[in-house]
Structures are given as structure tokens and as C-alpha cells.
């Protein structure tokens, strides 16, 4: 793709400079020159080195770990842009942190996703571009336009290349059924569900699979892998119920705590994830990373040109 327009600017926070550089080369635009550093006490120090007046600025910053640090940095970048008279500011958040706290499902807890949306909007963000929100209704927490992309469109190509026959899609819990159903619909295969019970933040128990998996290859789908408790426990029970090959496809590789070790030793032969979050440090051998850069570059081009973004997804719409 060759794209040149002096008023489109692409700026990287420090959360995922590799992804921003990849997008910049797809768009054929230079990265906006900026210094993002730290004062001796840890406070964030930002300076832009280009005129931003009237520009259509896309700021890339997934709010994965360290979540609070990355979110504050994004807010300060947005404030800098607003005060530098940027024309329009789009927060490109391939991964939106705090999304799992999206409702008050017990007494005396915050709705953290709503708090994050509020502070982003009040800092001066005009639009949000994101991928696979934990729940699509989080879009409604923002009183600004949200363009929501599905990584399934890029992960799906990697799955198709494996030519898996007798395939069944499986959701590791009831919450993931909508996503798994969309996968099953696009791959034209049956849907199954694991009955999950969460006992603590990083421990889950699974005893039953709803639907037949014996003698089948299973594609286990999820929006995120955090401690990997959910997905590795689901892979284990699927094998126990007679599944042949188990392949995992998940959008956001948060990979915290025991995740790497759990994935390394799990029953799945391959773990397909996207690079919505920067993957650093030791990774499991069965991990394969698919880039969302071309997808984000196409969406940014369309937003900049005021063209439809949903047209990108006509063929992969969620069921």
C-alpha cells in the first residue's frame, strides 16, 4: 500500500513501537518525531518535535501491562496533542485494558472499563480504533465514535492454512460463545463449549464439555490469554474427552504470571495469537504470532479518508 498525505500523522506511545513501525511502513508515512521519557521520580515526560496543528493524528498505544503506566502515558500524549492544536486525535488501542470490569456484577466494585472510557474522552480523544473488545457493548461507554475490528480476519487465514479436517470450534467458557460462534460460522463447523468455573483470579476448574469433540480436531478460541489458566485447562479437558489436535486462537496475548509455562506445557499443539500487545521475553515454543498491522493500516487509511471501516469486515461479521 502506498499512501501519502502530509496531514495524517502516526505517533507511537512506548507500549508497542514495533507495531507502530510496521503500520507506518504499510501506510508509507514517517513516524511523528517525539521524545517520551521519564523524570527522575518516574513521572512521564513528553515532547513532540513536529508541528501538529490541524493534523489527523493516530496515536498507537495498547493498554496492556504495565496497564496503568501505558494508560497514563496515552492520556498525556493526547493532552499534548490537544494543546498543540491537532485537528483530530484517534487513540489506536489494539488492546483495551481494564475491559473485563465492564459491569457491576457484585456489590462495591468499580466499572473500570467505563472509568477508562471517561478519562480518555475527557483528555481529548476524538475517536477510538480498537480490536476485539472483551465485550462489544463497551463501545457504548465512549460518547465518541469507536471503530471496532476483529482479529479473526487475520488469525483465520493462519487457521485456514492448517487445512484441519473434521474441525470443531470450542469456547472455553460461556462468555466466549459469541466469538466462538462467529469462528464456527466462518469455518462452517460445529460449536462446542467448556463448562468453566473460576475459583480465583488465576485458577479455573473445568469438568464438562457441551457438544461432541471425540475424534475431532478442535479450534479453541478466546479474546485473551492472561494467566493462561482458562485456555490450558480447556485444552486439557478437550484432550481428555477425546479431541485429536487442539489449536488455540486468541487475539490478545497478555501473558502474565504463569502463562508462558502453562502454554509451554499445555495440551494444545499450536497457540495462535496476534500482536495487539508487544510480546517480550521468553515465549512458549508452540506460540505463533500473526500481525494485525495490515488490518490497522487499512482501517487508519479508511478513517482518514472518511470511508467505511465496516466494509473491511463484510465477509467476517460476528454472527
Q: Which residues are catalytic?
A: 196
- For 115, the grid coordinates are 472509568
- Does position 251 interact with ligand R5P (CB under 6 A)? The reply is no
Task: Give the C-alpha separation, 112 to 101, whole Å.
Answer: 5
Q: Binding ligand R5P by CB under 6 A: which of 230, 274, 275, 276?
A: 230
Span near ligand R5P by CB under 6 A; candidates 51-59, 185-193, 216-224, 299-307: 216-224
Out of 15, 117, 151, 228, the only residue in the binding site for ligand R5P (CB under 6 A) is 228
Nearest distance from C-beta of residue 266 to ligand R5P, angstroms: 11
Q: Which of residues 136-155 bind ligand R5P (CB under 6 A)?
A: none
Q: Which of residues 165-184 bind ligand R5P (CB under 6 A)?
A: 172-173, 175-176
CA distances from 206 to 194, 196, 233 (A): 7, 5, 7
String of DSSP letters for 135-182: SGGGGGG-SS-EEEE-THHHHHHHHHHT--SSEEEEESSGGGHHHHHH
Is residue 224 near ligand R5P by the rule CB under 6 A?
Answer: yes
Q: From the CB of 170, what's the least distance to ligand R5P, in Å?
A: 12
Binding mask 70-109 for ligand R5P (x = CB under 6 A): ------------------------------x---------
Check residue 225 for interaction with ligand R5P (CB under 6 A): yes
Total number of residues that touch ligand R5P (CB under 6 A): 17
Give the C-alpha separation, 88 to 108, whole Å: 37
The candidate with the shortest Cα–Cα distance to 83, out of 113, 57, 44, 114, is: 57
Site residues, ligand R5P (CB under 6 A): 100, 172-173, 175-176, 202, 204, 222-231
Amino acid at each position: 500500500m502506498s499512501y501519502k498525505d502530509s496531514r495524517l500523522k502516526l505517533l507511537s506511545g512506548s507500549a508497542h513501537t514495533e507495531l507502530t513501525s510496521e503500520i507506518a511502513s504499510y501506510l508509507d508515512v514517517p513516524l511523528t518525531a517525539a521524545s517520551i521519557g521519564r523524570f527522575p521520580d518516574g513521572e512521564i515526560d513528553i515532547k513532540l518535535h513536529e508541528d501538529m496543528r490541524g493534523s489527523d493524528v493516530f496515536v498507537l498505544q495498547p493498554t496492556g501491562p504495565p496497564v496503568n503506566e501505558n494508560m497514563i502515558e496515552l492520556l498525556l500524549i493526547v493532552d499534548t496533542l490537544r494543546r498543540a492544536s491537532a485537528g483530530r486525535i484517534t487513540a489506536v488501542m489494539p488492546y483495551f485494558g481494564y475491559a473485563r470490569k465492564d459491569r457491576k456484577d457484585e456489590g462495591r466494585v468499580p466499572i473500570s472499563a467505563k472509568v477508562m472510557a471517561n478519562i480518555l474522552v475527557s483528555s481529548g480523544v476524538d475517536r477510538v480504533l480498537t480490536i476485539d473488545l472483551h465485550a462489544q457493548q463497551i463501545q457504548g461507554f465512549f460518547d465518541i465514535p469507536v471503530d471496532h475490528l476483529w482479529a479473526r480476519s487475520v488469525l483465520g487465514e493462519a487457521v485456514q492454512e492448517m487445512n484441519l479436517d473434521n474441525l470443531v470450534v470450542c469456547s472455553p467458557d460461556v462468555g466466549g460463545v459469541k466469538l466462538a460462534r462467529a469462528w464456527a460460522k466462518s469455518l462452517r463447523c460445529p460449536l462446542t463449549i467448556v463448562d468453566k468455573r473460576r475459583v480465583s483470579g488465576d485458577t479455573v476448574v473445568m469438568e464438562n464439555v457441551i457438544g461432541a469433540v471425540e475424534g475431532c480436531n478442535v479450534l479453541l478460541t478466546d479474546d485473551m490469554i492472561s494467566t493462561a489458566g482458562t485456555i490450558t485447562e480447556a485444552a486439557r479437558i478437550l484432550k481428555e474427552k477425546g479431541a485429536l489436535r487442539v489449536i488455540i486462537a486468541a487475539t490478545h496475548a497478555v501473558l502474565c504470571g504463569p502463562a508462558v509455562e502453562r502454554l509451554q506445557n499445555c495440551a494444545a499443539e499450536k497457540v495462535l495469537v496476534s500482536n495487539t500487545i508487544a510480546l517480550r521475553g521468553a515465549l512458549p515454543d508452540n506460540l505463533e504470532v500473526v500481525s494485525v498491522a495490515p488490518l490497522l493500516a487499512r482501517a487508519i487509511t479508511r478513517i482518514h479518508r472518511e470511508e467505511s471501516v465496516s466494509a473491511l469486515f463484510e465477509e467476517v461479521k460476528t454472527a
